[in-house]
Amino acid sequence: MGKNEDRHFQRRINSAYFTSIISITLVLFTLGFLGLIIIQAKSLSNYIKENIGFEIIMKPGVKEADILHLKKILDTRAYVKSAEYITTEEATRRLSDILGEDFIDFLGNENNPLLPSIDLRFNAPWANSDSLVVIETEVLGNKAVKEVYYQKSLVHLINNNLQKISFVLLGFSLMLLFIAIALVNNTIRLSVYSRRFNIRTMQLVGATESFIRQPFVVKGITQGIVSALIALALLSGIIVALQKQIPELALLIRLESLGWLYLFILVLGMLMAGFSTLFSVRKYLRMNPDRLFG
């Protein structure tokens, strides 16, 4: 009869252990997937901002050497991602490709309205309305520049929408993190609850609190590591599957950001499981023996 009870008790412990791992894995996977969305949103935001740019129209008769000199100056600016010199001939060819016909045949070379220009693209931190106004003023200060063209309303709209999306994702992330901590804590507490009599037995034979806590905390951290590794494996599988279906996603995923996300999930799993176990064991160490049966 005693052996049957021991087997039943061991099955309960094993069941609680695997239930904890599954629960923590699901929580970490959900957090990791949200983190992946945030990384993608940030990469997409930077991609959009870095495709916002100026078209710097040069004055008629400006020497090519002066244009190249301006381009060289712009290339040294921290806010510039790329600067491309577009000659009158190149601008004409591009417009002809868009229109589907050579409009110069109608106007003649001497009446070509297109002027040479510099196509400027910015690094993401500078691609906002305030910075672009300052950059525009600086560029217009050059005597060779006739005008600067960019869609101010579009820049404002893009930055406002990206800011709103960032706030929504941040709020949702904090809420999910709070829920995740609560779920993991409850799961670990149930796991420790199944071994509360073991804790009491060790107390009765004179074991110190630190001696009793140590194996529980180590096992909790191990649960966190195992759960995190399973969650990361699932997340990696989803990333690979998405890249096969949508190859363009590979351009938005940066390995450095992904590495930090993986490290965050691993450390978070260890900390949540470790601290939840620590607090749960402490509760039963200090609990009145009469309440162990409640």
Please identify, among 126, 149, 172, the residue that sits at the C-terminal boundary of a domain: 149
Please identify, among 116, 149, 182, the residue that sits at the C-terminal boundary of a domain: 149
> Averaging pLDDT over each range in 32-36, 38-42, 195-199, 241-245, which range is the top one?
32-36
Residues facing 83 on adjacent strands: 120
Q: Strand, coil or helix: what is 85?
A: strand
For range 124-128, the mean pLDDT: 81
Q: Does residue 290 register a pLDDT over 60?
A: no
Q: What is the pLDDT of residue 262?
A: 92
pLDDT digits (tens, 9 = 90+) for 165-194: 777 877 877 887 777 777 777 777 766 666
Q: What is the pLDDT of residue 54?
A: 80
Asked whether residue 114 falls in the same domain as residue 243, the answer is no
Which residue range(s) make up the domain with 275? 2-47+158-293
Asked whether residue 43 falls in the same domain as residue 169, the answer is yes
The encoded tokens of residue 207 equal: 């074991």
Q: Does residue 5 register a pLDDT over 50?
A: no
Asked whether residue 119 falls in the same domain as residue 245, the answer is no
More confident residue, 66 or 152: 66
Q: Does residue 113 register a pLDDT over 70?
A: no
The encoded tokens of residue 31 equal: 């957090």
Q: What is the pLDDT of residue 243?
A: 78
150, 53 Cβ separation under 8 angstroms: yes
Asked whether residue 96 falls in the same domain as residue 189, the answer is no
Please identify, among 83, 117, 149, the residue that sits at the C-terminal boundary of a domain: 149
- Give backbone dihedrals phi and psi of 170, rounded to 5 degrees, phi first: -65, -45
192, 273 Cβ separation under 8 angstroms: no
Residue of 200, 152, 185 whose CA lies nearest to 54: 152
More confident residue, 179 or 103: 179
Q: State percent of the chain over pLDDT 70.
A: 74
Say how many domains are in the chain: 2
Q: What is the pLDDT of residue 8?
A: 52
Q: What is the pLDDT of residue 193?
A: 65
Asked whether residue 27 falls in the same domain as residue 144, the answer is no
Buried b (16+ CB within 10 A) or exposed e, 153-186: eebeebbeebeeeeeeeeeeeeeeeeebbebbbe
Asked whether residue 7 falls in the same domain as residue 66, the answer is no
Asked whether residue 11 falls in the same domain as residue 119, the answer is no
**Across 9-13, 73-77, 196-200, least confident range:** 9-13
pLDDT class for 263, splitting at 50, 70, 90?
very high
Asked whether residue 202 falls in the same domain as residue 97, the answer is no
Q: Does residue 112 register a pLDDT over 60?
A: no
Asked whether residue 123 falls in the same domain as residue 162, the answer is no
User: What CATH number is given to the structural domain containing 92?
Assistant: 3.30.70.3040
The encoded tokens of residue 249 equal: 């996603």
Q: First vs last Cα of the chain: how many Å apart?
A: 24
Q: Please state, rounded to an integer, the average pLDDT across all residues of the chain.
A: 77
pLDDT digits (tens, 9 = 90+) for 206-250: 777 677 777 778 888 888 899 899 999 998 998 888 778 777 666
Distance of alpha carbon 131 from alpha carbon 81, whole angstroms: 14
For range 101-111, the mean pLDDT: 53
Q: What is the pLDDT of residue 126?
A: 82
Asked whether residue 273 falls in the same domain as residue 163, the answer is yes
- Note the Cα 76 to chain centre separation in Å: 29
Asked whether residue 42 falls in the same domain as residue 129, the answer is no
In the chain, the amino acid numbered 12 is R
Asked whether residue 218 falls in the same domain as residue 177, the answer is yes
